[in-house]
């Protein structure tokens, strides 16, 4: 897309929103999106990523957003264009226009916001099954090993030294471990429509409450613990101050914080009770997500930096999960008081 007023106004015209009075490019590490002000209001104009731009996927995402909005959750509503659909194709791009929802970045010191994030996710995951449309049947979760193998292949071809190739082969082995551990029990885990990419770049707050959630390309029916894994990694863990628009910051190593994890999970648990089996497998989902954010994140760095980007602290984090994961999950099980909640 040509980032000119003319190109953006073509999209606005298709949605009968008039001419743009102001245009501001919004942050993010992948998708292009803009804050647009017209005489009819304030909107987000977004280019859907090519891999999610089919009509079936777009229709699914927009139907879910509409249902979540009807549940009084703070999600942006897709706008209808002159043809009655909620997307439009111009040249090779598919565009959507969403209502503007205000919010501020997450304050790490705001533990009330952390608990409220848990409550929000519990409500988000309560979308009734009859409200789930067709369009993403048999959709794999974003961090599924089968989706990550191509990145391993690409990285192997970029390695300059045999030692690097050995490390990349070991990453492939980690994917085998994750797959063999999660796949056999995945169907038995409680499912819900999940956001699939919960991090501070996609969630904003106002007065300690979630005020807006963005970027719904990974919406699909999955194990709900997948979203909670994200929430713990990106909101409850100890890490250097996170810059949501910086892929290196977003994918940096972290340390789990039990007390903060419990704050978030208690918020969820009191509304949508968790099962012990979900907590027991939570560290494994975190390991899976760690593999994913480094492998898939490598798309967003230059070719010469990809191998280094993936390997930096990679195996240190794997060893960390292996060493503390079981104890971390056991402590959560002991302190969430399942017998009282279930």
Instruction: Judge if 90 and 117 occupy the same domain.
Output: no
Domain harbouring 176, CATH code: 3.90.1200.10
Tell me which residue range forms the domain holding 34: 5-99
Same domain, 119 and 169: yes
Q: Pick the closest to residue 137 from 223, 196, 55, 60 (CA basis).
A: 60
Q: Which residues pair with 206 in a beta bridge?
A: 209
Are the beta carbons of 327 and 320 closer than 8 angstroms?
Answer: no
* Residues 282-286, mean pLDDT to the nearest whole number: 98
Residue 341 pLDDT exceeds 50: no
Residues 68 and 120 placed together within one structural domain of the fold: no
Domain final residue, candidates 99, 127, 151? 99
Q: Are residues 115 and 95 in the same domain?
A: no
Domain assignment present for residue 106? The answer is: no
Mean pLDDT, the chain, rounded, equals 94
205 and 92 part of one domain: no
| Alpha carbon 257 to its chain's center | 20
Could you give the percent of the chain with pLDDT greater than 70? 97
80 and 119 in one domain? Answer: no
Same domain, 286 and 253: yes
Cβ–Cβ contacts within 10 Å for residue 146, how many? 10
Residue 127 lies in a domain: yes
* Percent with pLDDT over 90 in the chain: 89
Is the model's pTM score more than 0.85?
yes
Mean pLDDT over residues 316-330, rounded?
98
Tokens of 185: 């029990």
Domains identified in the chain, total number: 2
Q: What is the CA radius of gyration of the chain?
A: 20
Q: Is 312 helix (H, G, I), strand (E, B) or coil?
A: coil
188 and 328 fall within a common domain:
yes
Dihedral angle of Cα 325, 331, 332, 334, to the nearest 10 degrees? 140
Residues 214, 226: Cα–Cα separation, whole Å: 17
Please report, for the domain that includes residue 84, its CATH number.
Answer: 3.30.200.20
pLDDT for the residue numbered 337: 81
Reported as a pLDDT band with limits 50, 70 and 90, residue 121 is very high
| Tokens of residue 72, six digits | 């009084």
Contacts of 244 (CB under 8 A, 6+ apart): 27, 28, 105, 199, 200, 201, 202, 250
Contact between 265 and 322 under an 8 Å Cβ cutoff? The reply is no
The answer to whether residue 104 sits within a structural domain is no
Residue 16 domain flag: yes
Residue where one domain finishes, among candidates 65, 99, 133: 99
pLDDT greater than 90 at residue 167: yes
Give the whole-angstrom CA distance, residue 158 versus residue 124. Answer: 41
Q: How far is CA 191 from the centre of its chain?
A: 16
Pairing verdict, β 191-194 and 41-47: unpaired
Q: What is the mean pLDDT of residues 77-85?
A: 95
Q: Residues 204, 317: one domain?
A: yes
pLDDT surpasses 90 at 4: no
Q: How many helices (H) and strands (E) does the chain have?
A: 12, 9
- Are 70 and 163 found together in one domain? no
Taking the CB of residue 181, how many other CB atoms lie within 10 A of it? 15
**End residue of a domain, out of 56, 71, 99:** 99
In this structure, the answer to whether residues 142 and 279 fall within a common structural domain is yes
Q: Residue 300: inside a domain, yes or no?
A: yes
Q: Do 149 and 254 fall into the same domain?
A: yes
Q: What angle in degrees, to the nearest 10, is found between the helix axes of 162-186 and 145-158?
A: 180
What per-residue confidence (pLDDT) applies to 57? Answer: 96
pLDDT of residue 154: 96
Q: How confident is the model at residue 26 (pLDDT cuts 50, 70, 90)?
A: confident
Q: Is residue 80 part of a domain?
A: yes
Q: Please write the tens of the pLDDT for every residue from 288-321.
A: 999 999 999 999 999 999 999 999 999 999 999 9
């Amino acid at each position: 897309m040509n980032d000119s007023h003319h190109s953006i106004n073509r999209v606005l015209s298709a949605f009968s929103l008039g001419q743009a009075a102001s245009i501001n490019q919004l942050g993010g590490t992948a998708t292009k999106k803009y804050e647009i002000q017209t005489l009819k209001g304030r909107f987000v104009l977004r280019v859907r990523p090519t891999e999610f731009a089919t009509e079936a996927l777009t229709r699914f995402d927009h139907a879910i957003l509409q249902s979540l909005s009807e549940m009084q959750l703070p999600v942006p509503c897709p706008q209808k264009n002159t043809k009655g659909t909620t997307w439009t194709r111009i040249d090779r791009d598919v565009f959507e226009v969403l209502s503007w929802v205000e919010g501020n970045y997450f304050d790490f010191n705001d533990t009330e916001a952390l608990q409220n994030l848990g409550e929000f996710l519990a409500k988000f995951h309560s979308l009734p099954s009859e409200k789930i449309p067709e369009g993403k049947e048999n959709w794999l979760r974003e961090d599924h090993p089968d989706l990550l193998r191509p990145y391993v292949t690409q990285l192997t071809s970029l390695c300059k030294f045999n030692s690097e190739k050995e490390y990349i082969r070991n990453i492939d082995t980690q994917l085998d471990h994750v797959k063999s551990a999660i796949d056999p029990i995945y169907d038995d885990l409680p499912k819900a429509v999940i956001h699939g990419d919960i991090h501070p770049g996609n969630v904003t707050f106002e007065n300690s409450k979630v005020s807006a959630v963005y970027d719904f390309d990974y919406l699909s029916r999955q194990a709900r613990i997948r979203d909670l894994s994200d929430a713990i990694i990106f909101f409850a863990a100890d890490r250097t101050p996170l810059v949501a628009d910086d892929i290196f910051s977003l994918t940096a190593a972290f340390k789990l914080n039990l007390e903060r994890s419990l704050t978030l999970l208690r918020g969820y648990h009191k509304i949508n009770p968790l099962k012990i089996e979900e907590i027991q497998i939570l560290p494994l989902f975190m390991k899976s997500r760690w593999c994913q954010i480094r492998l898939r994140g490598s798309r967003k760095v230059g070719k010469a930096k990809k191998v280094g980007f993936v390997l930096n602290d990679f195996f240190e984090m794997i060893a960390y999960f292996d060493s503390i994961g079981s104890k971390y999950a056991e402590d959560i099980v002991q302190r969430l008081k399942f017998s009282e909640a279930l």
